[in-house]
Every structure is written in structure tokens, then in C-alpha cells.
Structure 1
Amino acid sequence: MPNRLQRARHSETVDAAGSSASPLRRDLLIAFTLPTGILGVMHGPEGLIQGVYAKHAGISLGALALALLLTKVFDAVTYPLIGYLSDRTYVRTGSRASWLIAGTALSVVGVWFLLRPPSDVNVWWFGIWMAVTYLGWKVIEIPLQAWSYVLTGDYKQRARVQGWRGMAQIIGQLLFFLLPVLAMQIGVSATTEVDFGSLGLVAIVCAVALPLATLLLIVRVPAKVVVRSAPTGPTRPRLRLRQLWHAVRQNPPLLRLLVAFLPVNLLTGMSSGLAYLYLDVYLGLGEALPAILGTALLTAIIGIPVWTALSGRFERHRVWAIALVLGGVVCALFALIPPGDGAAIAAFVLYPIVTLVLAGSVAVYAMSADIVDYGRLHTGEDHGGLYGSMFAFLQKSIMGVASALGLAVVAAFGFDATAATQTVSAVIGVKLGFAIAPALGLLGAAAIIWNYPLGRAKVLEIQAELAVRDGDSARHDTAGAMPMPLDASGHAAGNLAPADRPTSSET
């Protein structure tokens, strides 16, 4: 481990590099985030699809909840397994492209059948194709998240990368809510509602666009930050599954961030799963629903650059905590909206504010890139895929389970998606799941993350220690001269990376 003077000198080097690093080129960022944008279109109906199947196919809420839960049974195994295997592929080949190709194929097939069901569709159809869709998303999104970690090691540029990814996701979701209008205009749907007619158009768009976007990313974006010669000396032992627990246990910042991220995704996932039932069925805003959700996504587009800039300039965890507090307060206000003439106005005001402040979660993914550096320092291995899979598990799988849980809760309170009016008990249940519980979860997460230990100064210190260790490894390499490393924008970097593993560190 480097001594105090070495760390101080290299900390100055890293900090100077961080303040003057050449920004990643926009064309590279566009190519990298295009698949994320198309995936955003695919994810658009994720919180609504169960409500559409309940309302337009007549499938019971209890059956839909059970089907959703069954699709999530093995997620606790498949998420880290995909992360682990994609890390193995990256160590062996230096690329995660094969995973993106497989995930693209599975996602397109799953969404095609999920959003274009037959007239006599049943819950088995819903469950099978939802499971295929979720598997495809896992296979593409976990390696894509890990890939984003190695585009840059600069503190501000990391926030910028995650900001671009968050923006692409939101723009994709916004495009999803514009498609019902297009579906009505071309005659595949009678209204602007989210129904099977408009969802079928979404499936066609995604089946064409996602393969093209994935191909562009693979061709255009470098697989790693640096270019280096293949090692000729002894290589590291291959990763073992039993090492995964140690990789997680030895990373306290990872564990703390996961603990804070859990209630956010669990309870906001419950809320998003009930959005269709709350806004459409309970408040009677079906015709206005695409406009409300589309407006909310526009505010998120405004919010992501703001939160990205703040998380690059200030302590990321404090920025996220403030966003969580604001989100909790606004979620609680939603419980006060009654059905009637004023419901649309209140929803148009509050729902966009919720998405505006929740866009602050973009800071989490910049924080997760810092965690990869922490893990690499303490374990000697790049676990970007494994760590990324854990955040994806919380954001995707736990939110899916939460959606099912929300359906089960409102069903237990007697909510009926086909009824014109609801009982008092049903109203209490849908308000609890949609507004009150999420508000408490956001406030609790803010308290957990406020004193997070991996601040900006600590990140710079970790990168300085990695620079010293990697430089020592390069000097002791017996393979001979190594080529000058390049950053993702094509400029020469100042330090050499170790010859035997990928790195997310950049000076």
C-alpha cells in the first residue's frame, strides 16, 4: 500500500486530472445511450401492464400478482449470476458485447408477445412472456451498466455518463407515452388510452429500434478506458462463485448504498405498479393519463441535468438525500387528492414534481461507479458486473415484486379494477400503497444515506492509491513496453492500467 506522501502526490495528480479531463465526446455518449433510450420505451408500460391486463382482458388482480411474483422467484440468483458471468467474459475477452446481443434478442421476443396478446389471453400468457421480457432486460442491462463504469474515472465525468443514461431512459419513456396518440392517429386504437392497440405499436417500434441501437453501440463505443497489451506472465486465478460474498462483504459503502436503495425501490415500485389503478380507475383520469405521465417525464428531463450537475459538483449522497426528502413530502400530498373535477389539476401538478425529484436517483449510479473503485482497491478484482447486477436487482426485480405486492394489497382491501366506485376500505388500500408507504420509504432512505462514508475526498484518495498500485504493476511487468492508454474520448491518459484486468480508474 502506498505511503502517505505517495498518496498525497497522486491525489493531487488525480484531482488535477479530474478538473481538466477532456469531456467524453457527445457522439460517443449518444451511441452508448441509444439502447438505454429504446429500453426506456420498453419499460414504459412496466408499471401499467398489469392494470391493462386487468381492465381490458378481465384477469383478476390476485392472479396477476401471483404471476408477477413467480417471474421473480429466481431473481436473487440470476441477477448476481449474470453479473458474475459477464465479469468473467470481460476478464477473458475485454468486452461485454455478446451479452448485449443476447439480451437484445430476448427482450425483443418477450416484449413482442407480451404487448401483442391474443384475444383469449389468460394469466399464463402474461406470466410466461413477462418472465422472458424480464430475463432479456437483465441480460442486456447488467452488462450495459458495468460498461458505463469503465468509460471514465473522472468524478464529474462519471456523473455526466450516468446523467446521459438517465436522460435516455426518460426520453424513451416519454416516447412511449406519445405512442398512444400515434396509435389513435393511424387507427390501431380508438382512444389515447394505454390499451392493447397502442401497446402493439410499441412492440413493433422496439423490435426494429433496439437491435439497430445495440449494433451501433458495439461498433462505435470502446469496451474499456485503456488499450493495453495482453499479459504474458502469470495471470490471476479465475473468479470463483464463493468469492462473490467476500467481494460484497468487503465493500461497506456498497452495503450501505444497497440498504438505502432497497426501500426506495420497494415502495416506489409499489406506487408505480398502482399508478394505473390510482389515476385511471380511482381518480377517473384514464383519458388524461398519457398526458399526465408524459408531462411528468418532461419534468424528469429537466431534473436529470440539474441533479447530474449537482452530483458532480457536491457530495453525491447529500444531493440524493435532499431529493429523497422532497419526494417523500410530495408523495404524501398525493393521498389528499379526491376524485372529482380538481383531480386532474392536482395530478398534473404533483406527479411531475414527484418525477422531478426522484430523478435525483441518477446520483446513485455515479456512486456505484465509485464503489467499483473501492472494491477493486480492496479485492484486487473488477466486480463492475456483480455490483451493477445488485443495483439492477433492486431497481428492476424488487420493483417488480413491489408491483405485485401492491396489487395484492389493494386486492386484500377490496379494490375492484372493473367497478365504477370503490369502497372506503378499497380507497384506504390504494392510498396506502400508492402514496403513504412510498413517502415513508423515501424519508427513511434519506436518513440512511445522509452520512454515507464514500465522499469526494475519499474517492480521490482511492483513485490515487489505485494509480500507485497500477503503476507499480506496470513497472514490474516483464512483457516489455506497453502502449500508451487512451481514455474513452480518444486522448492519451497519464497512467498505465495493470495488464491483467480491466479497470474503471482514469487519471
Structure 2
Amino acid sequence: MTQPAPQPRQSAVTCFYYAVPALPMAAIALPLYIIVPSFYAAAFAIPLAAIGGVLLAIRLIDAVTDPLFGWLADRVTCRYGRRRGFFLSSVPLTALAAFMLFWPPADAGLAHLALWGTALSIGATWTLLPYTAWGAELSDGYHDRVRVSAWREGATLVGSLLAISLPFVGGLERADAFHGLAWIAVFVAVILPLAAGLAVWRVQEPVDRSVRRLSLRESLSHLAGNRPFLRLAAAFLLNSFANAIPASLFIYFVTARLDAPGWEGPLLFSYFLAAVAGVPLAVWTSARTGKHRAWSISMTLACLVFSGAGLLGEGDAAIFAVICVATGLLLGYDLALPPAIQADVIDNDTVRSGEQRSGLYFAAWSFITKLALALSAGIVFPLLGLAGFSTAPAASQSATALQALGALYAWLPILPKLAAIALMWRFSLDEAEQKRLRTLLA
């Protein structure tokens, strides 16, 4: 079979239109797992344990829907194409579920949370997997893939800033008014369909490089035999776990260790704002050192900068703000570079297997992200409890508990990051190897 011509370098305008849907999509995740539990508990008198059980069940459903939608994203096609069509068909469910969950009626209860929370999780997975696969296949160039990823992740960070700001600007005190979560509901319900339609209209369907279709057994066999993917996946899991640890402990570190209640919002905002600036910095660095080296350098710097947080204590909130800005810049590298490396890894699989299966690979990517979050919560909180730390409001903490909090927050993440650096520093799939793979595909 004669392969199609290589994809051209994507213009900034094309990258912009592709990235726009990431803005409302990013406004879904943070409210779902950070604001929704406390809001439903306070507004509808639902026990936190019951809410936690529902959210855990939704996570278990994710374990089924991630590989299912990854497989479907590589199989289903329509008049708009394999990626664009499957992506566009998911948007009505995602937009409706977000609207219903974030702006619940006055008589909402646990059943409403379970129904629309599950619908939103399914819809968001259905939307995200073909969307990220679309971006991975949009360009063939080693460095151009970083640009496409950077545009998407930059939009994701802006959406995260909106998700942090809008609920608190709108207020969360009353459920029978146009509260802060309702702002998010309207934003997603209106902007997501418009952004998705604009992207499908203005951004082309990527070339499908498949020359055969694999059975499920063959597909899994090739995935397990893709050594660059296994190495990248291990590094991504380790680094994601390292990032999830301080994310899980952030509020406790600020309020208990630094004794700075009220600083959580401004510090988080400065962190994500710095990450927006870090994305173009990651593009610039990777163009000079290569993607895997740029990512490794950023992780090394993050270890050095973040280690200082373990030495901070009461009254050091201003110093911690500087650390948040510095590590936020480096977060831009974590967001922009690994997905661009993943696109190269998929090339390796396509050459060997004959089928381009970006959907399945990004489903594995999604599973790794969620596994890292689960590992963080399952390891860190029991260790904090063993040190005598109390999560009760206004609880008095012992010196031992505060020391353990500082060590877990700042120093424990260094170990998995160092392991990730060791895996990626001599990563075999560099620019020269990627060009060789593209030649074979052509």
C-alpha cells in the first residue's frame, strides 16, 4: 500500500483552533474532584463518606471506559473522520453532564451526584481520548509535535485558572442562587460545543497510517513489546506520582506547616499562571536539547528547587510563593513534553504493528495519570496518619507531625523524580530515530 504524504508543519492559527476545546475541558476536572464534594455535602447535607464512595465508584468505572474508548477511538469513523468525528459525537453528553452536575436543582441528592457524575466521567473520557490522539497525529515533525502539545496544554492551564477562580468569584454559599459552580456549568455547556465545532471546522483530520487491523490480542502484544513506550510510561508514572504527592498535601502544608490559611488560592493561582509561561519555555528548550533531555533537565531543577520547601515553617509563606512560581514554570515542561514524546513512541508501534493506535496509547496514558493519583493518596495519607497528623479542622499538630508533613511534601517526591530522570536521560527515541521511523512509514 502506498502511504500518504507527510503531514505539513502546522501553523500557529491551526494550533490555536485545535487547542481551544482544551479550555472548557480543563474546567471540568478540578471542580469535579476538589469543589463538588464539599459543595454537595454543605448544600444538600450529604455525608462526605457517601460522596467519597460515589467518587471512588466513578474512578472504578474509569478503569473500564478508558481502554474501551481508546479502542473505539481507533476504530470508529464517520463523515468527519476517525478522530474528529468520534470527538465531536461525545461533546453533547459531556456538556450536558457538566451542566447538570455543576448546577444541580434544589432537591438534588446522592442519586443526582452519582448519575451525572458518572455521565460526566464517561463523557469526558470519550471527549479527551480522540482529542489527544488527534493532536498526536496532527504533525509528523519531531519539534512540531511539541508545538501542538504546547498549544493544547497552554489552553488547559488557562482553563485550570478559570476553574480555580470562577467558583470562588461567584461564591459557593448558597445552592439556590447562581453560585460559582453554576458559572462553570454555563461556561462548559456553552463554550465546549462552540470550541469543538470550531476545531472540527478549521483543523484537518490527520492521516491514518494504518495498513492493517489488529486483533485485541495482537494489539496488546505489540503494546507490551514497545520498549520505548514501556520506558516512557514508567518515567511518566514516577513523575506523575511525584507531582501528585504535593498536590494531595498542598492545603495541609499551607495551613498547618506554614500557618498561612487563606493563602491557598493565591498560591495555586500563581503556580498555574507560572506554568502557562513555562510551556513556551519548554518548547524553546526542547528545540535545543531534544525532548527527553529537556524534560530530564526540568525534573532535575524541580528536585533542587522543591527540596527547599521542606525547610520552611511558620511565617515562610512569601518564600514558598517564590518556590510555587519556580516549580510552576517547570510544570510547563511536564505538561508539554511527555505527550509529544508519546507521539514518537506511537510511531515506533505503527512501524512494527502496521496499525496506528494513538487512541489506545492515550488510554494507557490516562490510566497512568489516574493510577499516580490513587497511589499518592494510598501511600501518603497513611504515612501522615502514622506520624500523628490530624486532619480535623483547627487541630493542634505535634512537632513530629509537622516535620513528617514537610518531609512527605517536599522530599519524598524527589525519589521518584530521580528515578524518572534515570529512565529518560538516555532515552533511545531521539530526533534522529524519529526521523528514521517517519521514513519507514513513508
CA deviation after TM superposition for structure 1 residue 222, in Å: 0.9
2:83 counterpart of 1:96: yes
**Equivalent residue runs for 1:420-499 within 5 Å:** 420-424=395-399, 426-427=401-402, 430-431=405-406, 433-467=408-442
CA deviation after TM superposition for structure 1 residue 454, in Å: 0.6
**Equivalent residue runs for 1:19-168 within 5 Å:** 23-45=9-31, 48-49=34-35, 52=38, 66-90=53-77, 94-116=81-103, 129-168=116-155
Partner of 1:494: none
Partner of 2:290: 315
Partner of 2:352: 378
Inter-CA distance 32–257: structure 2 relative to 1 (3 Å threshold) = same
Find the aligned partners of 1:100 and 1:327 in 2 and give their Cα distance. 35
Find the aligned partners of 1:376 and 1:148 in 2 and give their Cα distance. 16
2:323 to 340, 350, 369: 350
Partner of 2:312: 337
Find the aligned partners of 1:46 and 1:403 in 2 and give their Cα distance. 18
1:369 to 337, 340, 343: 343
CA deviation after TM superposition for structure 1 residue 236, in Å: 6.0
CA deviation after TM superposition for structure 1 residue 137, in Å: 2.0
Match of 1:48, SS state, is helix
Inter-CA distance 91–113: structure 2 relative to 1 (3 Å threshold) = closer
- Amino acid paired to 1:268: N
Greater CA drift, 47-56 or 320-329 = 47-56
CA deviation after TM superposition for structure 1 residue 355, in Å: 1.8
Inter-CA distance 92–180: structure 2 relative to 1 (3 Å threshold) = closer
**Deviations 1:81-115, CA, capped at 9 Å, x for gaps:** 21111101159973223432343333334433444
Inter-CA distance 426–72: structure 2 relative to 1 (3 Å threshold) = farther
- Amino acid paired to 2:201: V
**Deviations 1:284-327, CA, capped at 9 Å, x for gaps:** 54433222211112211111101112223322111111111222
Greater CA drift, 290-299 or 269-278 = 269-278
Find the aligned partners of 2:242 and 2:106 in 1 and give their Cα distance. 33
Greater CA drift, 295-304 or 40-49 = 40-49
Unaligned runs of 5+ in 1: 1-13, 229-234, 468-507
CA deviation after TM superposition for structure 1 residue 364, in Å: 0.8
Find the aligned partners of 1:111 and 1:24 in 2 and give their Cα distance. 31
Partner of 2:332: 359
Match of 1:73, SS state, is helix
**Deviations 1:430-458, CA, capped at 9 Å, x for gaps:** 44553333222222211121121111111
Partner of 2:164: 177
Find the aligned partners of 1:435 and 1:69 in 2 and give their Cα distance. 27
Find the aligned partners of 1:411 and 1:66 in 2 and give their Cα distance. 21
CA deviation after TM superposition for structure 1 residue 388, in Å: 1.6
For the Cα contact (< 8 Å) 2:70–2:130, is it kept in 1?
A: yes
Find the aligned partners of 1:378 and 1:101 in 2 and give their Cα distance. 30
CA deviation after TM superposition for structure 1 residue 45, in Å: 3.4
Inter-CA distance 254–444: structure 2 relative to 1 (3 Å threshold) = same
Unaligned runs of 5+ in 2: none
For the Cα contact (< 8 Å) 2:62–2:122, is it kept in 1?
A: no
For the Cα contact (< 8 Å) 2:99–2:186, is it kept in 1?
A: yes
Find the aligned partners of 2:9 and 2:433 in 1 and give their Cα distance. 22
CA deviation after TM superposition for structure 1 residue 169, in Å: 0.8
CA deviation after TM superposition for structure 1 residue 150, in Å: 2.0
Find the aligned partners of 1:126 and 1:410 in 2 and give their Cα distance. 30
Greater CA drift, 119-128 or 285-294 = 119-128
Partner of 1:271: 246
Inter-CA distance 240–48: structure 2 relative to 1 (3 Å threshold) = same
**Deviations 1:393-437, CA, capped at 9 Å, x for gaps:** 222x22442464355655665432423533456535644553333
**How many residues of Structure 1 are paired with residues of Structure 2 in the alignment?**
431
- Amino acid paired to 2:324: Y
For the Cα contact (< 8 Å) 2:88–2:200, is it kept in 1?
A: no
CA deviation after TM superposition for structure 1 residue 60, in Å: 7.4
1:221 to 184, 203, 219: 203
* Larger RCO, structure (CA 8 Å, separation 6 or more): 1
For the Cα contact (< 8 Å) 1:51–1:277, is it kept in 2?
A: no
Match of 1:45, SS state, is helix
**Aligned-pair identity (%):** 28
Find the aligned partners of 1:55 and 1:275 in 2 and give their Cα distance. 21
- Amino acid paired to 2:84: A
Inter-CA distance 118–92: structure 2 relative to 1 (3 Å threshold) = closer
- Amino acid paired to 2:367: F
CA deviation after TM superposition for structure 1 residue 22, in Å: 6.3
Partner of 2:237: 262
Inter-CA distance 337–130: structure 2 relative to 1 (3 Å threshold) = farther
1:198 to 165, 169, 180: 180
2:247 counterpart of 1:247: no
CA deviation after TM superposition for structure 1 residue 67, in Å: 4.5
CA deviation after TM superposition for structure 1 residue 359, in Å: 1.6
- Indicate the RMSD between aligned Cα atoms, in angstroms: 3.4
For the Cα contact (< 8 Å) 2:67–2:360, is it kept in 1?
A: yes
**Deviations 1:150-209, CA, capped at 9 Å, x for gaps:** 2110122111111111111111112233325642xxxx4579xxxx94333222222211
Find the aligned partners of 1:428 and 1:64 in 2 and give their Cα distance. 31
- Amino acid paired to 1:351: C
For the Cα contact (< 8 Å) 1:68–1:400, is it kept in 2?
A: no
- Amino acid paired to 1:178: S
CA deviation after TM superposition for structure 1 residue 29, in Å: 1.5
For the Cα contact (< 8 Å) 1:151–1:224, is it kept in 2?
A: yes
Find the aligned partners of 1:49 and 1:181 in 2 and give their Cα distance. 10
Find the aligned partners of 2:115 and 2:403 in 1 and give their Cα distance. 32
- Amino acid paired to 1:465: L
2:387 counterpart of 1:401: no
Find the aligned partners of 2:51 and 2:329 in 1 and give their Cα distance. 30
